[in-house]
Amino acid sequence: MKFTRKEFLKTGALIAGGVLIQGNKFFYSEPQKTLGLITIRDNFGIYIERGGTIGWYAAKDAVVVIDSQFPETVNKFITELQKKTTRKIDLFFNTHHHADHTGGNVYIKDFAKKMIAHENCVALQKKSYGNNPGTQQVYADTTFADEWKQKIGKETVVAKYFGPAHTGGDAVIHFEKANIAHAGDLVFNKTYPYIDANGGGSVASWIETLEKVIKYYSKDTLFIFGHGATSDLVTGSLGDVVAMKNLLSALVDFVSKGIKDGKNKIEISLSTDIPGTDGWKERVAGMLRIALEKVYDELIKK
């Protein structure tokens, strides 16, 4: 990391207000301050401003970008990227369909040769936003079902789908040589997650999917996450993926017990003292309640 703890903390407070979710609608707060392009290793880095973390790889012989935030933030990212390289983006990926990861596609398309996403990501983006004339959509032109792989420059990029989780179309984009993986919103690092049931997500599947992710990657994999409790937590390790799985299991266990004890949805969802959630924070007030409601709705359906 090339920026200081102090800088992180400063933006951390701003990032914390990143997304407010009410029901199925996403509402985004005012744009946050960006630290520009943050290098995490050699030619790899991230860009944080508003919405999901953008991942980038900028080498002489290959430029790859993952996720696009919003048009008004991705344009600043592109300006920064162009100071680093004049090369066009060879490969652009969406990790999933949510607007804070695909909203900037409309801007980035002019700078990208190829746009890739899981087939469900494109379908869900069309379903969720395609009928809204207020938000112009650009969809990936290349889709895959299980895996998509390409050698580019000195890297091999592999996009993999492990199953439903946060949504029905979450992919992990892995740079095999560097062993760096963008996990999108499969991990909300140390911050309560959003389970998008209407967008194909499921807490039970999310746990199973993370088990597969944990088996596939290694303890040396450097991960980029869509969201973190603070901006220094948008990168992490396999241990953070394990912690995410454990958090989801803790929520399921808590809600299952509540249902068994005859508690209703309101009693369960207003709980704040949940075993196994020490150190987890709400980025926005209400995120824990919404997570518990989603888990309740899913468990009661069974």
Least distance (Å) between residue 185 CB and Zn ion: 4
Binding residue for Zn ion (CB under 5 A) from 49, 170, 185, 298?
A: 185
Shortest CA distance to 231 belongs to which of 182, 191, 267? 191
Q: What angle do CA 234, 54, 294 make, to 5 degrees?
A: 60
* Nearer Cβ to Zn ion (178/291): 291
Number of residues located near Zn ion, criterion CB under 5 A: 2
At 253, list the tokens: 């266990």
The footprint of Zn ion on residues 73-102 (CB under 5 A) is 98
Please report how close the Cβ of residue 99 comes to Zn ion at its closest, in angstroms.
Answer: 9
Residue 1: CB minimum distance to Zn ion, A = 24
CB within 8 A of 120, min separation 6: which ones? 97, 161, 167, 168, 169, 200
Task: For residue 144, give the H/E element and its range.
Answer: strand 142-144
Span from 4-12, 17-25, 63-71, 184-192 in contact with Zn ion (CB under 5 A): 184-192
In angstroms, what is the minimal distance from the CB of 260 to Zn ion?
31
- Return the DSSP state at 232: G
Q: 101 or 245: whose CB is closer to Zn ion?
A: 101
By CB under 5 A, tell whether 245 contacts Zn ion. Answer: no
Minimum Å gap between C-beta 62 and Zn ion is: 26
Find the angle CA(93)-CA(98)-CA(104) to the nearest 5 degrees: 60
* Candidate ranges 7-15, 112-120, 179-187, 210-218; the one touching Zn ion (CB under 5 A): 179-187
Phi, psi angle pair for 17, to nearest 5° = -90, 20
Nearer to Zn ion, 49 or 185 (CB): 185
Measuring CA to CA, how many Å separate 244 from each of 192, 203, 296? Answer: 9, 11, 18
The two tokens of residue 169 are 């179309």
Give least dist CB 236 to Zn ion, A.
Answer: 17
Instruction: Considering the complex, state which of residue 184 and residue 236 has its C-beta at the smaller distance from Zn ion.
Output: 184
Query: How far, in Å, CA of 114 to CA of 150, rounded?
Result: 12
Distance (Å, rounded) from C-alpha 194 to C-alpha 107? 26
- By DSSP bridging, strand 38-41 and strand 19-22 are unpaired
> Which residue, 185 or 298, has its beta carbon nearer to Zn ion?
185
Residue closer to Zn ion, measured from CB, 98 or 294: 98
Nearest distance from C-beta of residue 118 to Zn ion, angstroms: 13
223 beta partners? 181, 236
Binding residues (CB under 5 A) for Zn ion: these are 98, 185
